[in-house]
Amino acid sequence: MRVSSVPKASTTTVNNPVIPGFHPDPSVCRVGEDYYLACSSFEYFPGVPLFHSRDLVHWTQIGNALDRPGQLRLPPGTPSSGGIYAPTLRHHDGLFWLIVTNVSGDGNLLFTATDPAGPWSDPIRLAGVRGIDPDLAWDDDGTCWCTTAGVEQVRIDPRTGETLGPPRRIWSGTPGAKAPEAPHLYRIGDYWYLLIAEGGTERCHGVSIARGRTPTGPFEPCPANPILTHRGTDHPIQNTGHADLVQAPDGSWWMVLLGVRPYGGTPGWHVLGRETFLVPVEWVDGWPVVGELSPAMPAPPWDLHPNATAPGRDDFDPDDGDLAPYWISLRHRPPEDCTTGERPGWLTLHARGGSLDDPGVTFVGRRQQHPACRVRALVDPGEGRGGLAVHLDERHHYDIEAAAGEVRVRARIGPLDSAVASRPTPAGPVVLRIEVTPAHTVDDARTGPDTVAIGIEERDGTFTELASLDGRYLSTEVAGGFTGRVIGMFASAGSVHFDWYDYEPLGH
């Protein structure tokens, strides 16, 4: 095994997370000098966002692996935080391989592509593979091993999905630690390494590793386990786990993982979901030693390649074709309900659900990726009803809705449904606006993570705030689940038209 050191500290720093916002369960692979990364998508369509990078720091979304109904079946009964869990992305024998679990009915599925930007194949069903968080690894003789949470392993034929023998338990992580999951198996030097997450995906999350001489074990746990955790600390990055390793062309090693950034007082609330972070790794005596995970980390010792960042504004030009890959919808997106061709230069949404409480509502949104941001959209409700929403799930969302010369602000918090404010507006299009401001100081231990201000933008550009709402109620610590906020456009009655949507970060 080649032993490499943590790169020397650089005077240049880069921001962590490297992929901010609701981008959990990262899995990474390298082909030549190019890196590719996939994340979980849960109940959102299209599924499994895919990213490309040349430096592990700057990532550009190049598509979504599951962008056809035949690949991603999320029936109306799919609950929030159901759907697509924990992909593993690998490159082998000239193909990209993506294995993932659809917990809402289809089980474990395998997809292939020659280009990670797509198109990806129809699913190969893995009926004999049990559990979630599936991983793929190939032995020197071409044998393909699939390892799942638990930790259980079975040999498969990846071309057909057939299992080739019974599954067997190979390692259960640290005794007493719950939820051994997110396994990744690697051949590195003379050993096979089995990397897992354990402790649950909340504050006790951590990364542990074991090694063996064969892919089936027996596995010897690292004496320094967990090799990464922030449990029991006041570190600004928490819930660290679900990691994947990758080696750079210069021989250095790196780890991508998920984590959260809690804000506010006790117990701390995270609202952006679980995000993707990067940390260097050093090998010492045959074991990985993880470097410091920090919000501002030393830049890697190679040229950085800034990504083509997603534009803040979308004018819905029909000449651009399909919506950009960062736009996501709940469970499915029938083209007849979401089109830029019906009214050129506008996005038209046709309602199919009565409100954002309805799992089938017509909704198109973007992940909130910054603790402070401003979102604006010009909406023409016509004879319909619709607007902007900050959405966590069907029971936790804030929205501003325009209809018939009036706008209304509504808050749904669990069993409580409140009409917060309303105001008449002139007939015709209106600019709706949402501003999110994080809590930078905690005057009271009960201080929430941020404030969500909702209102309209006047013709002179001034903001008329109709409501200022506590952001803690749109957090995972209140709502539960595995997702993060998505801020988007919706139609709750008739047809609603959107001329443009603008997302503006207000600081990192």
Catalytic residues: 25, 181
CB 155 within 8 A of CB 144: yes
**Alpha-carbon distances, residue 298 vs 9, 76, 249, 295, 335 (angstroms):** 6, 45, 18, 10, 44
Listed residue (393, 499, 469, 389) closest to 433, CA to CA: 389
Residue with tokens 């490159």: 91
Q: How far apart are CA 212 and CA 314, in angstroms?
A: 51
SS3 352: coil
Beta strand 13-15 with 296-298 is antiparallel
Q: What is the 3-state secondary structure (H, E, C) of 242-288?
A: EEEEEECCCCCEEEEEEEECCECCCCCECCCCCEEEEEEEEEECCEE
For residue 487, which of 347, 390, 361 has the smallest C-alpha distance?
A: 390
Query: Could you tell me if 54 and 93 are in contact, meaning their C-beta atoms sit under 8 angstroms apart?
Result: no
3-class DSSP assignment, residue 471: helix
Structure tokens at 197: 């997450």
Helix (H, G, I), strand (E, B) or coil at 413: strand
Residue 386's DSSP bridge partners are: 402, 491
User: What residues contact 447, with CB distance under 8 A and at least 6 apart?
Assistant: 264, 265, 439, 441
- Report the distance separating Cα 40 and Cα 104, nearest Å: 14
Question: What are the distances in angstroms from CA 475 to CA 373, 386, 443?
Answer: 16, 24, 20
- 432 by Cβ neighbours in 10 Å (0-12 / 13-18 / 19+) ranks as buried
Q: Per DSSP, what are the bridge partners of residue 19?
A: 276
- Close Cβ partners of 501 (under 8 Å, ≥ 6 residues apart): 313, 314, 316, 347, 366, 375, 376, 377, 489
